[in-house]
Structure 1
Amino acid sequence: MQAVLPVHVHVENEWQDEGKSDRRHTPRTRMRTCVTNKTKTKSSVTIVPKQTQKTRSRSPSPSREPWIPPPGRTTKGQRFAWQSPKSRLEINPVTEITINDDTDNEDYQESERPQRTTSASRVSAEQQEQLATEIKTYEKRIQTLIENIGMLKEKAQLKGNQSQADNLRSEIGSSLVELEQLQKQYAQRVASMQSQTTTVPSYSSNSVAPFDNVNQETTEPFSNRTNRVTRSRSSSQSPIRTKSPLNTNNNNTQQSRSWSADQKRRLTPKVSFEDTENFSRKSTTPTRGPLRLNPERERLLVALSASETDIAAIIAQLSSLKDILTKLKVDDQPVSYEIDQLYKQRNQLLNFIEQFEKSNSSLKDFLQHQYHLEAEHGHLHEEKESLLTRLHYVENENRQIRRLLLDRENDNISLNQDLDKLHSHTIGFDTIKTSLETNRAHLQRELHAKEGDINRLQCQLRMLERDLHKNRSQCENLQRSIEKKNDLRKPMFSGVNRRRVINTEKLQTQLNEKDEYIEKLEKQLIDLKSGGKVHEKLINAETEITRLQTKLEHSERLMKDYKEQLNTSTSKIERNNLTKNHLSEMELEKRRVILQKRIEELEPLPELLRQAEFKNQELQTKLIECEKRINEQTSYINELTSKHSVQYRLLDRMKEKTYSSDDDNRTLQQKIDLLERQLCASEEENTNIHRNLNIKDETVRDLQARLNSKTFELSSITKQFDNTQNDIKAKEVEIRDTFGSKERMLQQRVHDLDNQLSKLRLEFGQLKREKEELERRNTLQLSDLRDKLEQSHNTNRSMQNYVNFLKTTYSSVFNDSLNTFPSTVRLNTILDTPITFP
């Protein structure tokens, strides 16, 4: 039987989205499906899915024809495939589709009746409601189909789980087959024994042969033993075996055991499961050589001794049977009690064989289980050793990391010390910088002050120069006037004029010397402006300049006095020239005496000027030295600034290094934290592993205790398992048949549901088109009705205007209100009644 795999169907919830899109008035693309109709079409028209377009404002026109939708898609022979990451669905083309759904036909016929009766001329609200109800029914049907497909998916998943169950069942079946083979072998042996016992009353020589063979087979490893062995054991000594009702009153089983447990261990063969079938099948457990049993070894030895006693009892029983048969062979006339005794011995032997088979099977299961437990214990021991090695490796890594951390900490300490030194150096450089800046500021202030003083002196010198120019101009004018007068008075005052000329020449020379001296001072002041920036020397120069200025002012005052005196004297001379010619010589002499005295007073002035020149030269030399010193200081300041900038750069680099070292320290601290966390985690893991190992040891002990309790139940479970195995096989055959038929039915159902989905989608599309047509026609009719209503309102207004005109004409022509009243009432009633148009 080949398992038929289910079809995995996946249907997206597209119809709900289309319903939402209809409510929002945004059309969607249709799903391309492949459907073949029963009726043959002459031509197939492919439909391109509509795209979303903007709605245009269309003016209603009565001549416009209604929109007719294109026919449905009728493509034949197209194959539809859908694939997901877990499964694949393929739908091959079908010639005809027939759907026999009795439950859905009634709803479908009820939904199709209003479609046949609807016409384009009669549209009402009831038909729209019917369309809405039909759409809801279709949506419900689609939801039911989707739910059915979901159930099919779940069944397919259950099929996957069933495949796993089938694998397990196959493994269980193989193990059961092996057990059945063993049981058949034992049954064949028992049947051969029964057939041999049934041939005993014939008293033939051939009847003893099989028993002899059995005795030869069983007594080969136990040739040194006695023929009779006592069979007395308690249930506490054999925890694996179950209690069996045996007749312990036999003479063969009441004898004592003649060998000790050591002799039994020497004589009994060692058990090994390398040749068994179960051992070769279970490849998951590793083979490790000799068994390393736990404290359960004593129980195992007890079970082995019990099996040995069973074997000894069987051998004794066989030997007794052999003796009876030999007696029967020797005696020609057998006795009836001997025959009964033979039958009893045969039955006892069969019981002993059954007990031995049970004990042997339970012992095999116990030994296999113990072997697997030992293998698991060895695996756990290996895991523990690997974990211990891993712990040792982790501890070594932690030690290395701690050493690295200590080295890094030492590096950090050295870096911090270097940083402290650099901070101290930077503080010293900052103090030097601040002191230099303060000195520089102080010198700049002094320079600004000296420049202000020099500017003031320059202004004063300019004022003095102006005064000198004025005095010179005045002196020149006076000289000219004097020369003119001297020319007139040459004959009279020739000697006096010569003296005056000499005096004037001397005064001019002195004035020229003063001008030169003033120019030198100006040059010195300019030189001082450019280079003189020392406080003490400038003060000395200023004091000397002020002293010279006072002397110049004193000389200027004397010059002014001389000029005034000259002016007064000339005026007096001019006045008295005419009247006092005879007294002119006396006055001139007096004036000469006065002028000579004044000249004598002015004679020390050139010496003072020379002294001032020497002092100016000394000051110039001092200024040059000061300039040199200032240049040296400026060069030293520049060197200090360059050194300061270099130190700043070094500080910036050191700061960057400190920042990088801080970042490294942070990263190292983070790594240290991670390593500490890993250490904590590893320690926790180690503690958990120790706990788990302790728990596993406890569980192993509990399992061993449970094994002792469950071994008693194994015999009864094996019988139930044999009975249930046949039932399970029969049920499996039935289930496979039913499951295969169900799968076929489900596949047919899925195929039918797919066809129904395609039909329903087509019907849904047709209904949507008809709904759009009806809405369009409704809009057209509403526009026509609005036009007609507007026309009727216009006619009513025209009639009202005409009636009003008639009223005015009648009121103007006929002034009789009594005659006109009923006519107006009639007209008003006519106008108030609504006009109905066909």
Structure 2
Amino acid sequence: MKDRSSTPPLHVHVDENTPVHVHIKKLPKPSATSSQNPPHCLEITPPSSEKLVSVLRLSDLSTEDDDSGHCKMNRYDKKIDSLMNAVGCLKSEVKMQKGERQMAKRFLEERKEELEEVAHELAETEHENTVLRHNIERMKEEKDFTILQKKHLQQEKECLMSKLVEAEMDGAAAAKQVMALKDTIGKLKTEKQMTCTDINTLTRQKELLLQKLSTFEETNRTLRDLLREQHCKEDSERLMEQQGALLKRLAEADSEKARLLLLLQDKDKEVEELLQEIQCEKAQAKTASELSKSMESMRGHLQAQLRSKEAENSRLCMQIKNLERSGNQHKAEVEAIMEQLKELKQKGDRDKESLKKAIRAQKERAEKSEEYAEQLHVQLADKDLYVAEALSTLESWRSRYNQVVKEKGDLELEIIVLNDRVTDLVNQQQTLEEKMREDRDSLVERLHRQTAEYSAFKLENERLKASFAPMEDKLNQAHLEVQQLKASVKNYEGMIDNYKSQVMKTRLEADEVAAQLERCDKENKILKDEMNKEIEAIEHQGDKLEMAREKHQASQKENKQLSLKVDELERKLEATSAQNIEFLQVIAKREEAIHQSQLRLEEKTRECGTLARQLESAIEDARRQVEQTKEHALSKERAAQNKILDLETQLSRTKTELSQLRRSRDDADRRYQSRLQDLKDRLEQSESTNRSMQNYVQFLKSSYANVFGDGPYSTFLTSSPIRSRSPPA
């Protein structure tokens, strides 16, 4: 009995708004039975709100683990969104960096193996996803089956609430009946004598109490069944909701996985396109390097030609200097000839006296002059041969000049072809720059600057080429002028030789005339002497006068003829001197022109040197710009590689987070199982409390039997259905 009294009170959990309190207490007796039977009580107290909330509310079905799982899923969604945004940004950056992927092939080859591993992992994950999909389909079918049962659950809830209300009402009625029975038993104890009415009332109250207790037990049993079913259904609903949430998460994960697969396919396509573009750019770089090599070779060829032209110019300058020296020598010779002419005039004045003697030797001198004329003819033939040789040299120089002109034309054609190639490369670069413009504005500005600088360099190159063409024309004109000057100098040399021959002839003629004058003077003197002698002898001889007169007239005629010849010779000398002066003036002008042409040649050579330096500097600047663009492209590729590595690290992090989420899901399942086990334990506790109530009822029966003895009450009690009832299992 003490053990029974030490059992915990019975708690029936019902709605908060309907408190139930049943208190049955036995009064102490002065007899021995009272000392042997301690008081017992049956308490049905309304539980606290906290206990009710902890047991019956549906909000307890959702755990904190669900909240943490939802938070993790939200974080995962946010991270996936950030990753998708990062992937979109990387897409745009990769599109913008299409023209700058020159060294990415090695990195891509290294990454191919990693991509294959990722593809293998994806295949494994796809297999797992297929298994999960089959499971999810099964769960969906079960879910579809349970959706139909939700209406039944609602109806069962309503039925449960009604049953709870009925149980409360039955409990209240049983409590009232127990109180009435308690009052009657108290009265019987005080009176100690029982009448038939008292016995009837007791039996009636006993029957009512038994009925109420039976109804209470039935309602309690139905409530326990309904509660058990409700808990099971709620657990199943909770599990289905969790399964639905997990299915949604798995569907979202599948969609994101499909999207990531599409992104990977797009990345693979972009990688293939980048590889193709890299190959195209490599081919273009090869062509550009070949063009640069050809340009360098052409530049070396042109420099060699310029050096050869400079050597030829130096040779021509040396030849011009030699011609100037020869011209100076001819000037000295002409001056010497003029001095000789002056001396000859003086000699002519001196030799007038010896003219008569020279007349005698005129025949001999005429013969000598004929021999000298033959020698002069021989010299003229030699001069003609020299002139023919000079003409042949001129023709050889002309042929060389024609070859140089042809080579220059070929070089100009090659330069035009190279310019066309350069323009094609510029057009290709402009197209690439336009693509880069569409991709990124900052790169567009840099490329615009580079194109502006390149166009400036191109304009400078064209301007230099344009200035180089007139300079070459001027050089050609200078070469032509030099050749013309050479030809004119040769012509002047021939004319000087002719004038020399004429001067020699005039010298001879002057010598002859001087000799004739001397002879005439001598003859005149002789005639004067003879005339004087004859005048003295006229008086004596008349015939001699006539002969003298005839002789005098003949001598006068000869003197007149000789004077006329002398005047003609003097005129010829004056004309030759004037011609020599004119030739000297023309030679001086030609020398000045040759000096100016030499100065022009020096200026042109300097300009050619400056142009060659400018071309070299422009080529070096272009090389530097190409190297800078290559370095910039390499830096961009390194940045892209770093970003790809970051993305890979982020993907690995997402994989780890997925594994953590799976672990958290498993933990949540374990926790749900533990909660189910707790609920089962609580049900067992409620069953144990019910057993304790039944034991207490048995105790009440035994106490009633002890009180009333073996009379009709005991028979009534023994025939009651409470004893025949077994406690529920």
Instruction: Provide the TM-score with structure 2 as the length reference.
Output: 0.37
Instruction: Provide the TM-score with structure 1 as the length reference.
Output: 0.33
- 1 or 2 for the larger relative contact order (CA 8 Å, sep ≥6)? 2
Q: Whose helix proportion is higher, 1 or 2?
A: 2
